Structure 1
């Protein structure tokens, strides 16, 4: 695998890797004959993320793999964050970036070609891994929304970051965002933001539902989604089934984020201290179903 990126595309790739690194402890790389996917899943399997870069995204893309094959490996997120670090120096001085596998495909080499003839080279050991896929179906989701990425960001900014969970209530003509809490009493602050269906570019709700998921995970992905697309697609079904956020930039790249939601009986947990509630609620989330395909680094899709 050999890829070359220009500065603008490099910043997008770095932002993508950084956002995945905030969700999971490892970043999975899957290189095909004409595309590159980076993925992650967190330790509790409550969130899965995948960013798909197609060949046209890169200035140069070369893969020695036969058609239909994949080259797969993973790298700790901490190592990725040290190499793919967005700084003012990168934006001002890096002219292009080259990535390739070297040393019998055991090391990922990243080279930054900078002004004044400076070349910075980083080598990261890679670990062979299985193909990681979340099991979900956009077509089978009962509800499909399309909303402005900027508007969604403004909505989320109305909620306290200390409020760990966010609930979306879908009705036939209105969608309501609200913070999720088990506590009751005069000290409890409830924030609700209702949106009319006309606020969405697409609002198809075939099944009324109420889904609750981690707000922190949504905050992590929003800045990257705003970078690549003005619109975000949302797919959901019912409590306990994953909620999916997706965005696309023309035919060059796309991103999908799959978050676990809490089962419908999650609200029955007893009142207690907030930390205890959050811990119990988190443990009640239905994990995102995952599929591990093959244990070899190269194989059929």
Structure 2
């Protein structure tokens, strides 16, 4: 195979390699009559990506003597080809033309950069023959289809930290939301919960066949969104119920890009002894699914059980936790009729000691300190204590 790229096509080709580097550690080159396909799959077979560049993308595209059989599929290590396209800004400024040749007898892939001022950089990379991989996924059978500009999805994803591993996509007839996902074993006090929502009108195409929540890896998606956003291309999303793969695709006249990710299986949809479903890659397929750890009923109802009946819990507008149950019990106790009568017949200093001291003088039980005494209240309390103390 022999192909030549010029101008912005070199940068676009390098951008595709950057996106594929987020998927797996190997890059498969698959020359075909309909174009050059770049594929990658991760070691767990839970993520698969393919970029197909049509012959019109290249200034020159020639399969050589094996054009009819299309048997030249070679596999390269990602760490050997990625450094060649590491700095895309430098490539855009200095590289005028790039030529890629696959030499079958020598098991070499030759990549040459023809730069300005007559400089030529030649790289020979060893490869091994491999079968062409293809994800077995029928996107036309998915009940839910979304299509939106890459900028819209990119602005939603950018609010999640780089360290975020998985996110959950939820769809209803009224909204589409993305939120971060954490397993049940994590320390929830150290977690920042983030959720972004969009109205269906924000999408170019919105089709919902079934309401669903799917959880998938975010790292693999970032690469495709970055590629699509740099070329102002819309992104289509095809998915169904939890446990089934989700497909993100980009399509243009001269290129096609597809990322297929496995999703976590909903714990309610399978029995306790049923194994987790996985994604498959046939000499062309990927899969991954894991169990979702459900919350225990005791944890979800612990706050409600500590609050007396008839009291309403109102969440903070900033998303902070609900008020402490001990404080709610105290306020509820102060509102009881018999306590109101006691308060009317009790000196102000006694009420002050109940509200502003750490311990009640009668029961000795610990109570939360709601505020600090003012100087005047401290002076009044000292006077009362002096009056009560026996004279010498």
The gaps in structure 2 that reach 5 residues or longer are 285-392
2:117 matched to which residue of 1? 116
Which residues of 2 match residues 210-225 of structure 1 at below 5 A?
210-225=213-228
Q: Between Structure 1 and Structure 2, whose CA radius of gyration is higher?
A: 2
Among 235, 238, 242, which residue is 1:235 paired with?
238
Q: CA deviation at 1:155?
A: 0.5
RMSD between aligned residues: 2.2
Residues 237-274 of structure 1: per-residue CA shift (max 9 Å, x gap): 1111111100122x100100001100001999xxxxxx
Which residues of 2 match residues 53-132 of structure 1 at below 5 A?
53-64=53-64, 65-67=66-68, 69-102=70-103, 104=105, 106-132=107-133
Q: Please state whether the residue corresponding to 1:31 is helix, strand or coil.
A: strand
Contact map agreement 2:234 2:250 (CA 8 A) in 1? yes
The CA distance in 2 between the partners of 1:162 and 1:41, in whole Å, is: 21
Which residues of 2 match residues 183-262 of structure 1 at below 5 A?
188-249=191-252, 251-262=253-264
Q: Which runs of 4+ in 1 moved over 6 A?
A: none
- What TM-score do the two structures reach when normalised by structure 2? 0.67
The gaps in structure 1 that reach 5 residues or longer are 269-283, 294-301
**Worse-superposed segment, 76-85 or 236-245:** 76-85
Instruction: Confirm whether residue 154 of structure 1 aligns to residue 151 of structure 2.
Output: no
The CA distance in 1 between the partners of 2:268 and 2:98, in whole Å, is: 47
The CA distance in 2 between the partners of 1:82 and 1:188, in whole Å, is: 35
The CA distance in 2 between the partners of 1:285 and 1:124, in whole Å, is: 39
The CA distance in 2 between the partners of 1:184 and 1:103, in whole Å, is: 53
1:36 matched to which residue of 2? 36
Residues 215-237 of structure 1: per-residue CA shift (max 9 Å, x gap): 22222322112123431100001
The CA distance in 2 between the partners of 1:267 and 1:186, in whole Å, is: 29
| Shift in CA distance, 95/267, structure 1 to aligned 2, threshold 3 Å | same
The CA distance in 1 between the partners of 2:235 and 2:118, in whole Å, is: 40
Which residues of 2 match residues 153-192 of structure 1 at below 5 A?
153-181=154-182, 182=184, 188-192=191-195
The CA distance in 1 between the partners of 2:11 and 2:221, in whole Å, is: 21
Q: Please state whether the residue corresponding to 2:145 is helix, strand or coil.
A: strand
- What TM-score do the two structures reach when normalised by structure 1? 0.86
2:321 matched to which residue of 1? none
The answer to which structure has the higher helix fraction is 2
Contact map agreement 1:46 1:286 (CA 8 A) in 2? no
Contact map agreement 1:97 1:113 (CA 8 A) in 2? yes
Contact map agreement 2:100 2:110 (CA 8 A) in 1? yes
